[in-house]
Structure 1
């Protein structure tokens, strides 16, 4: 019987869902799947891109773990595509490959002063507080006033982590270095800016509600932002999610303020104009007041405002990274594709597929990732005529290749060992988990 040897590069939700769907799909051939992940641990942005005080979202890991624990999918962690293994290597060992590498970089924000010291991308900060092994252990938390640019869930995650008292994070899995860093922060005011109105935000009601539950933090809103135009009124009347957001924000407007030690300011109709600097460092943020344009967008009013801040975080979206041997759309930060089939110009690249954010861009939730993977997997299974013919299809050849190159790869069993170690670290101090951060330590524990 024909056998499909399938490689999947990226062991986040997109890659694991693709593997699971391929295993469960009806097919007239055998299938074996190997997952390659550049980090020693699996789960991608669910482990390293979700704020640690989101246990409900972290629960997704349980479902992903169930897939890996079945034993019908191999995991090779700590393997860097393009360095430890290449596209030519994959062609020699597999019939096809799906790339599910996600989008881990910050999308650019092109305004004057954005490169000043004290101006950061949200993605890197999220990686730091989530204990990503490839970012520095320390973070410069020295500002009393901070600006966060963006009106999506990542912007709210960043704002919440900056303004939340660190002792309230202790039930979570934050690493020890993050705990120490947040304890040293002198922050008093965090300002979140969105260029459109409060009824056009991109964050979810759940994410918004969590902001209002912060201890010793005042929520500061401005009445001028709540003079709704007809489009906003229609959105409230016709969209349940918008209606909930309206209700939550207006409840906050009624709250008494002035007694908390920290404040979270929400600014709407604020288009970024310039990051103000002095001696090469951030000292303020200037924005232009906008107004509805009557067509669902906004236009500038010519009125500019400023706020003194000493740090700024841009949370205006994620951006994908180029992959060796594959075409790349630098405008969108994705691998060009047609329904997951990678395109080189107008031609489909045989045997090469993509799914997740590197396929469609950094939009959508977990549900989109599953449907995305289903579309891609369907094309993989139906394209048997275009599969590669590998020279070394035997499964033992892959670990032998990695070992011959000195790659200290990790496995599912290794992840179980690391998982148990982190849980034990947490249990010793009355917490659920404490993440191990250094890559070398993660790898050593996983390979022991």
Structure 2
């Protein structure tokens, strides 16, 4: 097979898996991982709560890929700013877009624009130390609503309820610790539209809610509904069974009198955020199961006093300049990873993988199989791929330098990584994450002699 130079735009798990699979499947493939942040790993680094270190074990495997021969990391390089689509086409045989999903999906209910409404993705980016979000976050609400039935909703609820000092063993950045230290929340209400067998929590995430002695988890009996379809799901799926068992334990447990409480409300659909000048409450409609996993409204409404609302109803990918995009589905139009134009014709040499390909669903294992499908499509197209105009693999570095981009390569990332580890060791912790972009770039730079 011919030699192959591929740009992968996005160095999260999806992009790294694509680079890994391609270089294993094709001995002549060389990949540039192009990432807009100075650090790789995407939502594994910036979408996981700091008190989940075991989930971040995946970083160790991703780190090995980034440092491998025939894979080159080009961090702090933004598509659409430092590089255009034409630039990539000139320098590479093919381009794989793996930019993920980092924005919040909207929730169209009255009052959602009142001050005190927040997107969960924005909050996650803040507490995960993302360099491109504000350093401060107002946490003055004593009663908070979290809308959503997935793991992100649980992460948000746990971070709002758990005392800040319990985070000091993690990589939490100082500005995040100080913000959480000032948190006034005592009661966090999580609302799910469907019943206990339909929610998308994972058992591990659900059990972790009660790991803090300062937090009581209260499952409210109203809406704890198990119909025949729910029972079939419980009987046939171990994860569903474990999740429902955990909810039942919370339902039956006596509160300990802890100073913080996480309330889980099932079969409650949000219909309006209440308030005049800012959030004062959340109105939900009681729902009932219809026997097929879906629910319908009952016409019974409940008002819960809250001063802040976090919507955790899904992530959304962003439209990339010069490329087709399905705004309703929030994905780049594609067929098995081949990017399609408006007439559903494949665009030669352009591919997509990860959440921007299939939507923000699935776990790490899905991401790997998704990347494998995209690489299979690329390799099947290999003989028909147009040759790049520029043959020198280092020409892209000169192009970026001429654009004024400060590129963080794999050595630079290793220096930044070592710097964060050293900061942590100074306080008896594994790592302390560096937040400001300029500080990240400075730490990634060559050490002065």
Scaled by the length of structure 1, the TM-score of the pair is 0.98
* Aligned position for 1:329: 326
Partners of 1:35 and 1:75 within 8 A in 2 = yes
How far the C-alpha of 1:72 sits from its partner, in A, is: 2.2
Which range moved further: 226-235 or 416-425? 226-235
Deviations 1:162-202 (A, max 9, x none): 00011111111010000000000111000000000011110
> How many aligned residue pairs are there?
445
How far the C-alpha of 1:258 sits from its partner, in A, is: 5.2
Partners of 2:223 and 2:268 within 8 A in 1 = no
Equivalent of 1:127 in 125, 128, 132: 125
Q: Does 1:380 align with 2:378?
A: yes
Partners of 1:91 and 1:389 within 8 A in 2 = no
- Give the Cα separation in 2 of the matches to 1:374 and 1:78: 26
* Aligned position for 2:4: 4
Q: Does 1:421 align with 2:430?
A: no
Partners of 2:148 and 2:313 within 8 A in 1 = yes
* Aligned position for 1:16: 16
2:263 match: secondary structure: strand
For residues 145-160 of structure 1, what are the structure 2 equivalents within 5 Å?
A: 145-160=143-158
Q: Does 1:340 align with 2:329?
A: no
Which range moved further: 213-222 or 43-52? 213-222
Equivalent of 2:391 in 390, 393, 396: 393
- Give the Cα separation in 2 of the matches to 1:2 and 1:291: 59
- Give the Cα separation in 1 of the matches to 2:225 and 2:394: 66
Partners of 1:5 and 1:393 within 8 A in 2 = no
Partners of 1:91 and 1:388 within 8 A in 2 = no
Unmatched tracts of structure 1, length 5 or more:
none
1:102 match: secondary structure: coil
1:97 match: secondary structure: strand
- Give the Cα separation in 2 of the matches to 1:144 and 1:162: 10
Partners of 2:223 and 2:286 within 8 A in 1 = no
* Superposition RMSD in Å: 1.1
Partners of 2:224 and 2:266 within 8 A in 1 = no
- Give the Cα separation in 2 of the matches to 1:80 and 1:139: 26
1:199 match: secondary structure: coil
Deviations 1:296-330 (A, max 9, x none): 21110000001111100000000000011110000
Partners of 2:223 and 2:288 within 8 A in 1 = no
Q: Does 1:318 align with 2:315?
A: yes
How far the C-alpha of 1:391 sits from its partner, in A, is: 1.7
Unmatched tracts of structure 2, length 5 or more:
none
- Give the Cα separation in 1 of the matches to 2:85 and 2:143: 47
* Aligned position for 1:88: 86
For residues 217-296 of structure 1, what are the structure 2 equivalents within 5 Å?
A: 217-257=215-255, 259-279=257-277, 281-296=278-293
- Give the Cα separation in 1 of the matches to 2:251 and 2:334: 46
Partners of 1:104 and 1:319 within 8 A in 2 = yes
- Give the Cα separation in 2 of the matches to 1:310 and 1:234: 39
Equivalent of 1:141 in 129, 139, 142: 139
Q: Does 1:443 align with 2:445?
A: no
How far the C-alpha of 1:203 sits from its partner, in A, is: 1.1
How far the C-alpha of 1:42 sits from its partner, in A, is: 0.3
* Aligned position for 2:57: 59
Deviations 1:135-179 (A, max 9, x none): 000001110000000000000010010000111111110100000
How far the C-alpha of 1:263 sits from its partner, in A, is: 0.7
1:282 match: secondary structure: coil
Partners of 1:52 and 1:174 within 8 A in 2 = yes
* Aligned position for 1:297: 294
Runs of 4+ in 1 over 6 A off after TM superposition: none
Equivalent of 1:197 in 195, 198, 211: 195
Partners of 2:224 and 2:267 within 8 A in 1 = no
How far the C-alpha of 1:404 sits from its partner, in A, is: 1.1
- Give the Cα separation in 1 of the matches to 2:444 and 2:330: 32
Which range moved further: 356-365 or 291-300? 291-300
How far the C-alpha of 1:387 sits from its partner, in A, is: 1.4
How far the C-alpha of 1:232 sits from its partner, in A, is: 1.6
